[in-house]
A and B are shown apart, each in its own frame.
Chain A
Amino acid sequence: NAGVTQTPKFRVLKTGQSMTLLCAQDMNHEYMYWYRQDPGMGLRLIHYSVGEGTTAKGEVPDGYNVSRLKKQNFLLGLESAAPSQTSVYFCASSYLAGGIREQFFGPGTRLTVL
C-alpha cells in the first residue's frame, strides 16, 4: 500500500497563476483533508471531505477550491495564486468508523508563490 500520496512535491508559481494539487489514498478512507503548514502556526485545515462528491470548508478556505469526484482522490485548487499562499500543504485521510480515527498524512507539497 502506498498510503497517502501527493503530487507534486515541490512547485513554484508566479502571482496570479493557477494550479491543482492532487492527493490520492489507497486505504479506502471516507474522510480526506487538506491542511497548510506555516512556520509558527501549526497545521490549519483548509477544506475537507466526508465522502465522494462532498466537500466542506475548514478554518482557512479562502482562495482555495476542492473536489472529490472519486473516493480515493482529493484535489486542491488555487485559481489565482498569491504570495500569502506560500506554504507546505499536507493531505490526510481517515476512516469513517468510530474509535480513534487518526489521520494518515501524505508527504507534503512545498509551494512557493513569487
Chain B
Amino acid sequence: AQKITQTQPGMFVQEKEAVTLDCTYDTSDPSYGLFWYKQPSSGEMIFLIYQGSYDQQNATEGRYSLNFQKARKSANLVISASQLGDSAMYFCAMREGYGNQFYFGTGTSLTVIP
C-alpha cells in the first residue's frame, strides 16, 4: 500500500484565491511527521511546513497551513491568497516514528492563473 497518496495530479487556482492540495497517509505507527515540499520549475525542493502526529493544532507558516485530520489520515495543504510564484509541484511526505526513511507522494502540479 502507498504510504502517501496525492490524488490530484494537477490543480488550477485563480490568483489571490485559496487552494487546497490533498494528501492522505497510511501508517500504524502512532508517532509520525508530515511534511510538505514545493518544487518550482527550477527543480530545487523547498520545505514548506511540518505537522507532528501529536501536535494538537494545525501547523501554519505564513500563507501555508496544514489541515490535519488524524482520524481520516489526511494532511491537506492550504495555500491562501495564491500568487503567481506559487506555481510549482507540491509533494507531501511522511516520516514514520523516529525512523530514518521519508516517504513521498507523487506530487500535485499547481498552476496559478493571473
Chain A interface residues (CB < 8 Å from chain B) = 31, 33, 35, 40-45, 48, 50, 56, 58-59, 88, 90, 92, 98, 100-105, 107-108
Cβ contact within 8 Å between A48 and B100: yes
* Number of CB contacts from chain A to chain B under 8 A: 50
Cβ contact within 8 Å between B105 and A56: no
| A-B CB contact pairs (8 Å), 29 listed | A31-B100, A33-B102, A40-B106, A42-B4, A42-B104, A42-B105, A42-B107, A43-B91, A44-B104, A45-B101, A45-B102, A48-B101, A58-B101, A59-B101, A88-B43, A98-B98, A100-B52, A101-B33, A101-B95, A102-B35, A102-B50, A103-B35, A103-B102, A105-B37, A105-B44, A105-B45, A107-B44, A108-B43, A108-B44
**Nearest B-chain residue to A43, judged by Cβ:** B104
- The answer to whether the Cβ of B47 comes within 8 Å of any Cβ in the partner chain is yes
Q: Per-position contact with A for B65-108: 1 when CB-CB < 8 Å, else 0?
A: 00000000000000000000000000101010010111111110
Chain B interface residues (CB < 8 Å from chain A) = 4, 6, 33, 35, 37, 43-45, 47, 50, 52, 91, 93, 95, 98, 100-107
